[in-house]
Amino acid sequence: MSVLLDLLLLSSLWVFALLTLTALPLFRGVVFFILLGLMLALVWIRLDAPDIALAEAAIGAGITGVLLLDTLGHLHHRADQESSPIRLKSSRFWVALISSLSLAGLLLWALLDTPATPTMLAEQVARALPNSGVDHPITAVLLNFRSYDTLLEIGVLVVAILVGLTLADKDSAQLSLPKLPNPLLQACLALLVPLMLMVSSYLLWAGSKQPGGAFQAGAVLAATGILLHLSGFRLTLRTSERLMRAGLLLGFSVFLLVAASALIDGQPLLTYPDHLAGILILIIELALTLSIGLILLSLFTLPHFALPEQERPK
Amino acid sequence: MSSSAVIFSLAGIGLCAIGLFGFMLHTHLIRKLLAFNIMGSGVFLLLVGMAQRSGHTDPVPQALVLTGIVVAVSATALALYLIRRWLQLSGSTELPEDDRR
Amino acid sequence: MNHSLLLIPLTPLLLILIWCLPRWRETACRLTPLAVLPALAIALSGAELHLELPWLLLGSDWLLNDIRRVFLCFTALLWGGCAIYAQGYMAGDVREKSFHLLWLLTLSGNLGLIISADVVSFYLFFALMTFAGYGLVIHTRSEEALRAGRVYLIMAVLGEALILAGLLLSAAQLLVPGSLLLEDFARANATSTYQPLIISCLFAGFGVKAGLPLLHMWLPLAHPVAPIPASAVLSGAMIKAGLLGWIFLLPAGMVSLPHWGISICVIGLLAAFAAALIGVQQHKSKTVLAYSSISQMGLLTTALGAAFIQPEIWTGLVPVLALFAMHHALTKGTLFLAVGITQYDSRLPLLVLATAICVPALSLVGLLSSGSHAKLSLKAMLYDDLLPGWLLPAITLSAVATSLLMLRYLWLLSQNLSAKSTHDLSPLPQSMLLSWLLTLLASLTAVYWMPQAIAPVYPSADPTAWLSMLWPVMAGLLLAEIARRHWRTLPIPPGDLIQPIEALLRQVPIFFSKFQRATAGLHEPVKEQRAGFADQLIIYLENQLENRSLIATYFSLLTLLLSLLLLGTYFV
Amino acid sequence: MMLNAPIPLLMITPLAAAVICMLLSERSRLLVSFAAVLIQLLASLSLLLLLLQQGPITHPLGSWEAPLGIALRADGLAVLFVLMTSVVAGIAALYAALYLTPGPLRAHFWPLFWFMWAALNGIWLAADIFNLYVGLELLSLAAVGLVAFSGSKEALVAAIRYLLAALLGSLAYLLGVALLYGAHGTLSLSDLSQQMQPGVASSIALAAMAMGLLLKSALFPLHTWLPPAHGGAMTPVSALLSALVIKASLYILLRLWIELRIHELAPDASQLLGWMGALAIAWGGWMALRQTLLKRVVAYSTVAQIGYIMLMFPLLRADNAEASTLALQGGVLMVLSHALAKAGMFLAAGNLILCTGRPELSALAGTSQYRPLSIFGFGLAGVSLMGLPPSGGFSAKWLLLQSALASAQWWWIPVMLLGGLLSAAYVFRVFHYSFKEAENSDTFHRPGVGLEICALALSAASILLGFIATWPLHLLTLPDILPLAVLPEGSLEQSLELLQTPTYETLHGTSEQQP
Amino acid sequence: MMNLLPLIVLMTSFLAAMVIFMLPEQEHRLRSLVNLGAAVLKIALILLLIQYVVAGFRPELRLEVLPGLSMILRADALAMLFAGLSSMLWLFTTLYAIGYLEGSPNRSRFFGFFSLCVASTMGISLAGNLFTFFIFYELLTLSTYPLIVHRGTPESLRAGRIYLAYTLSGGAVLLIGIVAIYALAGDIEFGDLQRVAEMAPDLHPLLHLVFALLILGLGVKAALVPLHGWLPIAMVAPAPVSALLHAVAVVKAGAFGIVRVVYDVYGIDYSWQQGLLTPLAIVASITILYGSLRALQQTDIKRRLAYSTVSQVSYIILGITLFGPLGTIGGLVHLLHQGLMKVTLFFCAGNYAETLGIHKINELDGVGTRMPLTSAAFTVGAFGMIGLPPVAGFISKWYLGTGALLAGMDWVVAVLVASSLLNAAYFLPLLYRIWFKPVPDSWPHEMITRYRDTAPLLLFPALATALLSIAAGLFAGLQISPVGWAELITLREYLP
């Protein structure tokens, strides 16, 4: 039964993926992409990875989808006449088809050729978990065993926002979405926002023991912000550039500080003292949640802002 | 042996191939970006799927995928900034030297 | 005392230094005759001098022995006399100063080569004389002078190259390794495996100076066009440098080389007769004298050849050659100077003038004083059983040729004299007359300038000998009279063979231009001309490889290829 | 405490500098940046000293040993690259400080710059294949940001191309990581090198990783994104990209190739890389000759130089320790000298463009007359790129040539030499323009002395490298990352005999011995 | 200290170059001062070094630049020969260049590269192994390029391009050769002849191939036919540069390299036994004759001189191929003699061009009257080239000829004689025109009218080198003469 379900999921993944790439107009493609993201969330649950499922739904489908749709909104103004990419006479089509099929064949071969053995690493994680300060293995991996990856990953996020800031500075024309002065929506928001904030806090708190954590919590926070943004609230982002930046960088800075603090002890980078591990991780997660939320939100809102006065090029 | 893991590894392979196909085929920048994301999802599936075929849950690849998703969304956002900016300046969703042979 | 040798070539050079100072230039020109004084003094002093200068060139060695002394003596005398002559003759010439400069340079070379005992110094002075002499030849810059100069230079360069080749070849098999002495070279030439080549090179190389047949063509061209004092030294002194080279470097007297000997004799006799035959067809007295020089040098060549056949006579022959050279140098010099005298109003009684002109001519044919002495000594030397029987008669017969030439000369001079009335002529400068007479005196007394030790004994006693000297002159007179009546001179231009050769050489530039065209591609870079195909290929490649949208395609294909390669080694 | 400080400092400083630069004002940004540059230099030097004293250092992050945790590893090769980065990026930072006019451009330059530096250091020190992926992404995005920086149309196109290529490359790399993890269950490079089993998954994984990395390094024919990106970016950015950023993926490839022993197991694959390199040399050189923009010439030169570096792969031979050592030394030296020379050349080219005010080559006429210093800086770097002595480029070429001879792969010799001539052709083409007759008046702008000195310093360093090449090469032996048996004396001669055409005896020797 | 001397010698011109680059364009006086100061200092240092070398020392400095590979600067007798020549000629050429470029733009650049060029030449002469040699050999190429294209005209740029195409290709071939011999025998220091001599016989064919590669590479700079094409084209450069190319540095570097390869790497015995020298001698002979023939066809003075160089430099190479002390002396000494004489000729050609605008041979008519001293110097140089004593050329020719015969290569004498004839054929007409043709009504482009002959700075170097060429021949017997030094080298280094 479950195999059938899996196969169904598999085929829907492939169909949605193909539709994403071929559906006309583009808007439909993006919709299929979001659907694909949701399907993926299901798949992740089937793969016993609820953390990823949450993240995929919130970030992969949610934030990415919103970003794409937002871009499409700008596209709308232009006459975007895309013809079908599939042209059987084009050599490019055939080369692409053959090489991607060959790739699939090779990967399949690799998959079948490789014996399935339980990885040693999982056991090691399990063994080291008690010393990690958290109970949930994924959080332990993310914020303790492989916290270095996460640190750099936050760096990637910051870079993305940084580039956004750079380019936003060039925007002389303000490109803001029309406000949605819908009283019903505003009423809904009044309910929804506290709820979402609560979900976010829960996810964060749960992260130490069960699926959830800073990313998911941050994503929910960002979603809240986007909703608010769409309904016309501009928060304080606009008023204080520097404060916004501080918020954006808070998580990264805290993480960095904690990482460096180990040096005082003569320990390697990112070493948490045993007894403080849990607390330190929580602090990091708190800061990260806030920052990730702000960053993800900014990814969406940044193009809608012109830069503040003092930084405008002369 | 976990059949789910094998099936979704397979699914991942398919997504990889489809993504690559789209990436090669399209000149429309947003489509290319979509293809990239599909490919990325395929790789994530393969990463977790392959590791979990023995039936045991492996937190490490899952953590890696979480990292990967964040990286992918950063990259997508960055790409969208650039594409939007390009659109604004040139009014085109394709790069100038691309042709569709 | 030995260092006084330095004075010989350096005095002229010193004068040149003075010449280089513009203020003193005039003085230097006036002092030219003095340049030979040290040489003359040393030549007459009688001591044997030897000077080694290891720092000079590759190690120089200068020597003055009796034979060299003879050469030095007549060279200095002739140059000195001619220099005095030039004081008058060149006065008022536009290029007088440069004439003196070149004169001094040439003189230095001529004097220097006589005292050089090592090859490098010898070659140096020889070259100096040759190349500075060029300037004397083309002094007038007239069309003929330039042509003569050209021929002179080409042949001289050819001669220098041959000499160099000969010297290098000799140096390869020296018995005293590293030696540069001329006598060591000569000795090596006697045994060298390159002997034929060496003898050919040296014989021909010096033969250019000495006017061997085929190498003589510059002489009849150069002598008439050069100023008279220059012609005199060219024909009298410088021509002997060739002989000196032969004496120093050929292995004559060391080894018997009959084939060489016969060949050289034949060449010499050919020169002696052919030059006379051509010479009598000429219309300029100086050209006739030039051919006479060739003819006389032919006799000397013949004697040299004899020494190759019979080495024993060499020791005796060398002083005779020296005497003959001295006699010829001074006599021919006087004859040349006489040509100039006739161009002026000498204010001398015609009889005196005619006698003074005729005496050296008679001497040259062997009827008088040093002439007869030299000729008789030469014949006496060649009176040897081992020599071919035809040699001596041929030499005797050559006197007929010489007489004919002298008669032609005198006849041309007399035509000259009678053609112009004395009123048209400017007065003869004193210096010219003086020098002419001095040279005349010297030529008549030449034999007494010979060092006693080597002076050939005058073979007087035999009246038949006298007869043998006289009848050719008579025959010559007869022939001349017949020719005057019945013979029209052949239109043989001065330099005889040079004209066909020049015509041939004119083809050379044409050949060269073809050669140039053929080789032009060798060094000029080929122009960048892209072929149409290559052009298209490049455009195609650029379209394919620089197409930025194909990068994903290339990427996939290469990944597949690399996978296959890795699979090939990993999996198999 | 300070004993193991250099490695953390190398990571913390740039990240912290990035954060601070984002928060602080104009003036303090510069101050912080200079301070950070200084710290970086000191840290890399002290790391060098540490390495020389103690040998290779492993730094287990979070005190978790690999494979559970991530370890940083500072062996000779890594330290070499760290030092290279400090020198080049340090000087480029100085240049940028002088080059950028105050304003938002400068404001955003510094954080991106510092993230890039952090990523570079992270990559040099990494010993974990997934961590390398994150590092690569951080590097790529920062680099794309720097390219897009000026916001012009051209810059955007270049940045988008660059981003697409980089993303494709990263994904291919990640695909390889997935396969390797699936097959071996570990991410640690040292574990992998011990456990590595040849197999389908490993093969495909390595192919994908290698190609992905090569795409990021712009190896022909995957180079087309590079010239617009490197040629179009701002001068200090161009220098950084060409000198350092593309080296990161090459470095990873080299690590994989050697540590996973691909050079021993799959020589055919190495040959493919070599041939791609050879084609890159030819094509890059050819295209550089045909450019009309100065910085494009320099950018295409990078394409060609990458090809040179790739020649080391086919020369890493399992059967010939001597050739392999020489090839590794030559390749690494080539990377170093290219980093110095190319950075110097870009900076000099930038100065020239500042002088003339136009980016075209034809605008250079007269520059050698009035701005000899700028041309001189360009020329010095050119010497190294052409592989003319005395320079790092020459020493590297020398080693590679020798390696080619030693491993009897003579066909790389003409490739290298013709490539050298081709590079001479395009470098001198620039001189050609600069020596052209111009009007007899000085109409050029005057770039600041500091800018000139920065360019000259880098170029001169690439020359100097030719004299002190033994020092960096000595580091390569800490530890010897090519742990191969040393062949007995005379092996070189034996292998050289292979160069000769086989004689009858060698071909038929066995048959003749039969009665 | 003694061992540092070679480096100091190198540095004098190198630092001079750096200082000159830094000097502002208008600092003419200071620049000249630096230039001349460095030149004089260098001569002094070289003299000091020569003292050491005569005393039997061998000052040496080494730096390991790659594992097993060192940069070696070493002053041996042969090095001193070349270093002495170039340092001396540098002084004259610098003086000349200062006069020549009076009032022209870009002097800073010119003199900077000029000094760099000489620094490389010093490096070439002091190099202790092929690797070091190659470094400076290529540096020379680089530093001469800006000098050739100095004028920036299309022709000079074209000449520069061609020059580079030739020399860099040659350098590449040379590099293969050097790498190959390094691979075969390790880092052979000059004079360490055991390595090659003791090589296994089956490696000999390979060694021959490497020899061919080395000669091919060096032959480009030495302008061996058919690798000489760059030389006549490079004539568009200013006269001091031509002097540098032809006499002091570039061509000499090639020839010197061949000397090193034959004597100090392969060893004359080995080369002779293996029959490597005869082909080289044949190539050299062909070059001698071909160069002379081509010179005969030229109507431009400098082009004629250029082809003359093609011909003359091969004398050096010819001398090297003649097995035996005399040939060696001839080859080595011609290295100096040719330098002196050719530099004189180029100075004079430059004087003619700068003073009266004379470039073509038919414009030389009567110039001896207008510029007697320059013309006298020119005459000396030409006579030297023809091989007339007492100018130095004869001495070289003498040794070459006798050396050839001792080596049993008698056909070389024919080559020498033919070449002398050809030399005479292309130089004597010039002399004739200079001295014996009437003075024309006007000169092509008279630029210097203040002086009777020409500017003193142009005249003096020409006269000095002319006198030196005579002195070198006239006093060849002295120990300090070039011949004396060449004999010392030959006796000390190549004869057991």
Contact C556 B20 (CB under 8 A): yes
Contact C571 D198 (CB under 8 A): yes
Nearest CA in chain A to B86: A167
Nearest CA in chain A to B81: A164
Give one DSSP letter per residue of D114-163, joined into a string: HHHHHHHHHHHHB-BHHHHHHHHHHHHHHHHHHHHTT--HHHHHHHHHHH
Does the beta carbon of D182 lie under 8 angstroms from any beta carbon of chain A? yes
pLDDT at res. A170: 55
Does the beta carbon of B30 lie under 8 angstroms from any beta carbon of chain C? no
Given a cut of 90, whether residue E436 has pLDDT beyond it is: no
Given a cut of 70, whether residue B98 has pLDDT beyond it is: no
Q: Which amino acid belongs to residue C87?
A: Q
Taking alpha carbons only, the member of D125, D129, D131 closest to residue D57 is D125
Contact predicate E301/E358, CB 8 Å: yes
D60's enclosing H/E stretch is strand D57-60
The domain total for chain D is 1
Does the beta carbon of A312 lie under 8 angstroms from any beta carbon of chain D? yes
Show residues of chain C in contact with B98, CB under 8 Å: 548-549
What is the number of CB-based contacts under 8 A between chain D and chain E? 121
Show residues of chain C in contact with A99, CB under 8 Å: 553, 556-557, 560
Show residues of chain D in contact with C535, CB under 8 Å: none
**Distance, CA of D467 to CA of D483 (rounded, Å):** 27
Determine the structural domain holding residue E479 and report its residue range. 329-496
pLDDT at res. D504: 37
CB atoms within 10 A of CB E87: 29
Contact B29 D160 (CB under 8 A): yes
Given a cut of 80, whether residue D258 has pLDDT beyond it is: yes
Does the beta carbon of C547 lie under 8 angstroms from any beta carbon of chain B? yes
pLDDT at res. D505: 40
Do B and D count as touching (3 or more CB pairs closer than 8 A)?
yes
Q: E384 lies in a domain? A: yes
Q: C407 lies in a domain? A: yes
**Distance, CA of C197 to CA of C186 (rounded, Å):** 14
Given a cut of 80, whether residue D370 has pLDDT beyond it is: no
Tokens 């490696």 -> residue: E203
What is the C-alpha end-to-end distance of chain E, expressed in Å? 30
Nearest CA in chain A to C563: A106
Contact B65 A80 (CB under 8 A): no
Q: Quickly state the pLDDT bin for D506 (edges 50, 70, 90).
A: very low
Q: E354 lies in a domain? A: yes
- Cis amide bond preceding D221, omega within 30: yes
E10's enclosing H/E stretch is helix E5-22
What is the number of CB-based contacts under 8 A between chain A and chain B? 255
Q: Quickly state the pLDDT bin for D177 (edges 50, 70, 90).
A: very high
> For residue range D212-242, what is the model confidence (pLDDT) as tens digits?
999 999 998 899 899 999 988 889 999 999 9
Given a cut of 60, whether residue C182 has pLDDT beyond it is: yes
Show residues of chain D in contact with B49, CB under 8 Å: 182
φ/ψ of C52, rounded to 5, equals -105, 130
Class of residue A227 by CB neighbours under 10 A (exposed 0-12, middle 13-18, buried 19+): middle
> For residue range D27-50, what is the model confidence (pLDDT) as tens digits?
788 888 999 999 999 999 999 998
Nearest CA in chain C to A105: C560
Contact B97 C549 (CB under 8 A): yes
Q: Quickly state the pLDDT bin for D440 (edges 50, 70, 90).
A: low
Show residues of chain E in contact with C165, CB under 8 Å: 401, 413-414, 416-417
- Give Rg (Cα) of chain A: 22
Does the beta carbon of D167 lie under 8 angstroms from any beta carbon of chain A? no
User: Which residues are CB-contacts of A195 (< 8 A; sequence separation ≥ 6)?
Assistant: none
pLDDT at res. A215: 82
Contact predicate C423/C299, CB 8 Å: no
Contact predicate C268/C304, CB 8 Å: yes
Overall average pLDDT of the E368-373 stretch = 87
Contact D372 E21 (CB under 8 A): yes
Given a cut of 50, whether residue B24 has pLDDT beyond it is: yes
The two tokens of residue C418 are: 């009678």
Mean of per-residue pLDDT scores for chain A: 79
Given a cut of 60, whether residue E496 has pLDDT beyond it is: no
DSSP D503: P
- Cis amide bond preceding E226, omega within 30: yes
Does the beta carbon of A3 lie under 8 angstroms from any beta carbon of chain D? no
> For residue range E269-279, what is the model confidence (pLDDT) as tens digits?
888 888 888 89
What is the number of CB-based contacts under 8 A between chain A and chain C? 16
CA distances from D263 to C560, C568, D90, D397, D405 (A): 19, 14, 34, 20, 18
Q: How far is C563 from chain A (nearest CA, A)?
A: 8
- In terms of domains, do C468 and C572 share one? no
Contact D115 A155 (CB under 8 A): yes
Most C-contacting residue of D160, D167, D215 (CB-CB within 10 A), to test interface: D215
Q: Quickly state the pLDDT bin for A185 (edges 50, 70, 90).
A: low
What value of ipTM does the predicted structure carry?
0.83
Contact predicate C261/C285, CB 8 Å: no
> For residue range D48-73, what is the model confidence (pLDDT) as tens digits?
998 888 888 888 888 888 788 888 88
Most A-contacting residue of C553, C554, C566, C572 (CB-CB within 10 A), to test interface: C553
Overall average pLDDT of the C404-418 stretch = 83
Of A165-174, C342-351, D210-219, E333-342, the range with the lowest mean pLDDT is A165-174
Q: Quickly state the pLDDT bin for C413 (edges 50, 70, 90).
A: confident
Per the model's pLDDT, the better-predicted residue between B94 and B44 turns out to be B44
Does the beta carbon of B97 lie under 8 angstroms from any beta carbon of chain C? yes
Given a cut of 50, whether residue C559 has pLDDT beyond it is: yes
Given a cut of 60, whether residue D305 has pLDDT beyond it is: yes
Given a cut of 90, whether residue C141 has pLDDT beyond it is: no
Chain B neighbours (≥3 Cβ pairs under 8 A) are A, C, D
In C21-118, where does DSSP find H-type helix? 25-31, 37-45, 66-89, 96-115
Contact C560 A96 (CB under 8 A): no
Question: What residues are paired with C64 via a beta bridge?
Answer: C49
pLDDT at res. A309: 36
The two tokens of residue D11 are: 């990571």
The two tokens of residue C389 are: 């029987």
> For residue range A218-252, what is the model confidence (pLDDT) as tens digits?
888 888 888 777 776 655 445 566 777 788 888 88
pLDDT at res. E143: 87
Contact predicate D338/D243, CB 8 Å: yes
Nearest CA in chain D to E172: D417
**Distance, CA of D368 to CA of A56 (rounded, Å):** 59
Given a cut of 50, whether residue D512 has pLDDT beyond it is: no
pLDDT at res. B1: 56
Q: D481 lies in a domain? A: yes
> For residue range A61-88, what is the model confidence (pLDDT) as tens digits?
788 888 888 888 776 555 455 666 666 6
Contact C525 E232 (CB under 8 A): no
Contact C552 B23 (CB under 8 A): yes
Contact predicate C93/C247, CB 8 Å: no
- The proportion of chain D whose per-residue pLDDT surpasses 90, expressed as a percent, equals 39
Does the beta carbon of D372 lie under 8 angstroms from any beta carbon of chain A? no
Overall average pLDDT of the D422-441 stretch = 82
Mean of per-residue pLDDT scores for chain C: 83
What is the number of CB-based contacts under 8 A between chain B and chain C? 16
The two tokens of residue E13 are: 């011109």
Nearest CA in chain D to A119: D185
Most B-contacting residue of D134, D139, D140, D156 (CB-CB within 10 A), to test interface: D156
Q: Are strands D57-60 and D71-74 parallel, antiparallel or unpaired?
A: antiparallel
The domain total for chain C is 2
Q: Which CATH class is domain B3-90?
A: mainly alpha
Q: How far is B97 from chain C (nearest CA, A)?
A: 7
- In terms of domains, do C282 and C380 share one? yes
CA distances from A273 to A134, A269, A305, C73 (A): 13, 12, 43, 120
Does the beta carbon of A276 lie under 8 angstroms from any beta carbon of chain D? no
Q: Quickly state the pLDDT bin for E3 (edges 50, 70, 90).
A: confident
Determine the structural domain holding residue D346 and report its residue range. 265-489
Q: C162 lies in a domain? A: no
Considering only the beta carbons, identify the residue of E21, E64, E134 that sits closest to D389.
Answer: E134
Overall average pLDDT of the D134-162 stretch = 90
Given a cut of 90, whether residue D142 has pLDDT beyond it is: yes
> For residue range A34-57, what is the model confidence (pLDDT) as tens digits?
889 888 988 888 888 888 888 888
C214's enclosing H/E stretch is none
Chain C neighbours (≥3 Cβ pairs under 8 A) are A, B, D, E
Show residues of chain B in contact with D151, CB under 8 Å: 85
> For residue range C454-485, what is the model confidence (pLDDT) as tens digits?
777 766 656 676 777 778 788 888 888 887 77
Q: How far is C532 from chain B (nearest CA, A)?
A: 26
Of A172-186, B63-77, E71-85, the range with the lowest mean pLDDT is A172-186
> For residue range C220-279, what is the model confidence (pLDDT) as tens digits?
888 888 888 999 998 888 889 999 999 999 888 888 888 888 999 999 999 888 888 888
The domain total for chain E is 1
Q: D427 lies in a domain? A: yes
pLDDT at res. A86: 64
Determine the structural domain holding residue C553 and report its residue range. 534-572
CB atoms within 10 A of CB D360: 14
Cα A312 to the chain's mean position, in Å?
30
Of C448-462, D175-189, D461-475, E361-375, the range with the lowest mean pLDDT is C448-462
Do A and E count as touching (3 or more CB pairs closer than 8 A)?
no
Q: E105 lies in a domain? A: no
Q: Which of residues 118-147 of A touch D (CB under 8 A)?
A: 118-121, 124-125, 128, 144-147
Question: Around D510, how many Cα atoms within 13 Å sit in the side-chain half-sphere?
Answer: 1
Considering only the beta carbons, identify the residue of A96, A102, A106 that sits closest to C553.
Answer: A96
Considering only the beta carbons, identify the residue of D164, D167, D175 that sits closest to B16.
Answer: D175
pLDDT at res. C572: 57
pLDDT at res. E479: 80
